[in-house]
Chain A
Amino acid sequence: MGVTLGINDLKMVTAEMAQYPDMDYSGLSFSFLKRRLTYVFEKLKVRKLVTFKERLSESEFREEVKYHMAVKVTEMFRDPGFWRSVRHNIFPALGERFSVWFPDTPSGEELFSFLVLLKESNLLDSVDIVCQHPSEKLCSEISLGVFDSRNGELNHSNYKRLEESDRFEDYFTNENGELTFKRSLLKNCRFRTKAAGIAEEGELFDFIVFRNSGINYSYGRHEELFKEIVEHIRPGGFLAIGVKESISGSLKDYLAVVDDKESLYRKPGVKNE
């Protein structure tokens, strides 16, 4: 029998977690927290709240919690129309050298989709990418570029919907049920172990990809988080969010819509090279 988490339990647990670095999950919506913590408790075989609370003092346990809190993206090139729009509407406007931030990278699918797209647009040498997640284990896993081959067919079919050509198999080797992507794709990519959405002070990016993470936050925190993220877009830079997320509050009038259907936005201003 698993743990049944009520609202007070969730408040208590998130308050305990928030005492540790990069573990402030208090901005997540209650319903998401309830589901996710239930999932984490199952994964870590925790059957009592008090056990969870006690084990938070162990750094290895905290690492496992951060790892399992991540909602992994289950396919590459999710929403092929989005990636097509990035190639057609964003890439030509990014300039000779540009920076990209993935403020919450729960798995490698989005990153490697982006890297393949850059490679095919001959932009892999023009980019600096920061991928961020609070779990060190997860960042380390992503940096290996290894994916379960059971998703290979889906990834490939999404790619084919995006591309006129079919070069997908050029990017990985397929051995022992695993697809291992070429390390060279990652040459301008660095990983940062830090809570989702929190950049370094004054850091600016030309393109921020934050798809389907904001939906896990409460309405209030969602708005705050987006404001914080938009502050880190360079003037004239771009923001991508999930196709079923919306920009709320004052940001709605502030950001220009680049592609409404694919949820791509642009910050006003001109890039100062």
Chain B
Amino acid sequence: MELSDRKFKVVVIGGSAGSFSVVSKILSQLDPGFPVPLVLCLHRLKHVRSGLVEGLNLKSRIPVVEPFDKEKLKPGVAMLAPSNYHLFVEFDSTISLSTEEVYNHSRPAIDFAYSSAAYSFREKTLGIILTGANKDGAKGLKSIKDKKGYTIVQDPTTCDVETMPQSALKLFEPDQVLTPDEIVKVLNSLVD
């Protein structure tokens, strides 16, 4: 079965230290007709509300927005988790935000974004974990795998900080371990 036949309902990318340049690279090489809603959950400074979305939009070939609570996911639009809010993917294809307790020292917590997407869309979820300096995201990505979704871990040898991908690799065997260029190829293969 081709990956494009799986008709993913959401792609969730999580990252922390060093991930801005990787995400920026992915977005700059993504097919403008990318057919799936994209969620970006990146650790960021809680008191800096602006700058990141603008920075990502500079090179991105699809729009990058910071969603409001209860906003609908949109195919071909990347939604970036706002600073100091957790982001959850809901059954009705909306985003919900929350100021609940910090998790893994993080808000947004990548584990929450992954696990809510897995819970809502099960095997129709594609999760990608990138470079980062803590273990956030590993359990959530595993929950995507447990629900028969598709999981990709950035090749640790290409990471600025390999803790986050390594934490995932210690926990389970993902579908693929890829370089950023290979991740772009996989994502673009989802375009018909």
Binding site for B on A (CB under 8 A): 29, 31-32, 35-36, 39, 71-74, 78-81, 157-158, 161, 212, 214-216, 219, 222, 242-246, 248
Supply 12 further A-B pairs (C-beta < 8 A) apart from A31-B116, A161-B47, A242-B99: A31-B90, A32-B98, A39-B101, A71-B100, A73-B99, A80-B47, A215-B70, A243-B49, A246-B68, A246-B69, A246-B70, A246-B71
Residues of B within 8 A of A212 (CB): 99
Q: Is A74 in contact with B102, judged by CB distance below 8 angstroms?
A: yes
Q: Is B96 in contact with A29, judged by CB distance below 8 angstroms?
A: yes
Known: A245-B68, A246-B69. A71 touches B84 (CB 8 A): no
B85 at the interface (CB under 8 A from A): yes
- B:90-129 near A, CB below 8 Å: 90, 94, 96-102, 116
Distance in Å from the Cβ of B40 to the closest Cβ of chain A? 15
| Max chain B Cβ within 10 angstroms of own Cβ: one of A29, A36, A39, A245 | A29
B132 at the interface (CB under 8 A from A): no
State the CA gap A243–B67 with chains docked (Å).
Answer: 11
B82 at the interface (CB under 8 A from A): yes
Known: A31-B90, A31-B116, A80-B47. A244 touches B100 (CB 8 A): no
> Could you say which of B84, B88, B100, B116 contacts A78, with CB atoms under 8 Å apart?
B84
How many interface contacts (CB-CB < 8 Å) are there between A and B?
Answer: 60
Identify the closest chain B residue to A29 (Cβ).
Answer: B96
Q: Is A215 in contact with B98, judged by CB distance below 8 angstroms?
A: yes
The 10 A-B residue pairs whose C-beta atoms are closest, nearest first, are A215-B69, A246-B68, A212-B99, A244-B82, A244-B97, A245-B69, A71-B100, A244-B68, A215-B97, A244-B69
Q: Is A216 in contact with B98, judged by CB distance below 8 angstroms?
A: yes
Q: Is A71 in contact with B98, judged by CB distance below 8 angstroms?
A: yes
Residues of A within 8 A of B160 (CB): none
State the CA gap A244–B101 with chains docked (Å).
Answer: 17
Residues of B within 8 A of A243 (CB): 49, 82
Identify the closest chain A residue to B112 (Cβ).
Answer: A35
Residues of B within 8 A of A35 (CB): 98, 100
Name 28 A/B residue pairs within 8 A (Cβ), A-sorted. Answer: A29-B90, A31-B116, A32-B96, A35-B98, A35-B100, A39-B100, A71-B100, A72-B101, A74-B99, A74-B101, A78-B84, A81-B49, A161-B47, A212-B99, A215-B70, A215-B96, A215-B98, A215-B99, A219-B94, A222-B70, A242-B99, A243-B49, A244-B66, A244-B67, A244-B82, A245-B68, A245-B69, A246-B70
Residues of A within 8 A of B85 (CB): 244
Q: Can you list, as one digit per residue, whether each of B56-81 has a CB less than 8 Å from chain A (1) or not (0)?
A: 00000000001111110000000000
State the CA gap A248–B71 with chains docked (Å).
Answer: 11
Q: Is A219 in contact with B49, judged by CB distance below 8 angstroms?
A: no
Residues of A within 8 A of B67 (CB): 244
State the CA gap A36–B88 with chains docked (Å).
Answer: 14
State the CA gap A245–B66 with chains docked (Å).
Answer: 12
Q: Is B97 in contact with A31, judged by CB distance below 8 angstroms?
A: no
Distance in Å from the Cβ of A27 to the closest Cβ of chain B? 14
Distance in Å from the Cβ of A161 to the closest Cβ of chain B? 7
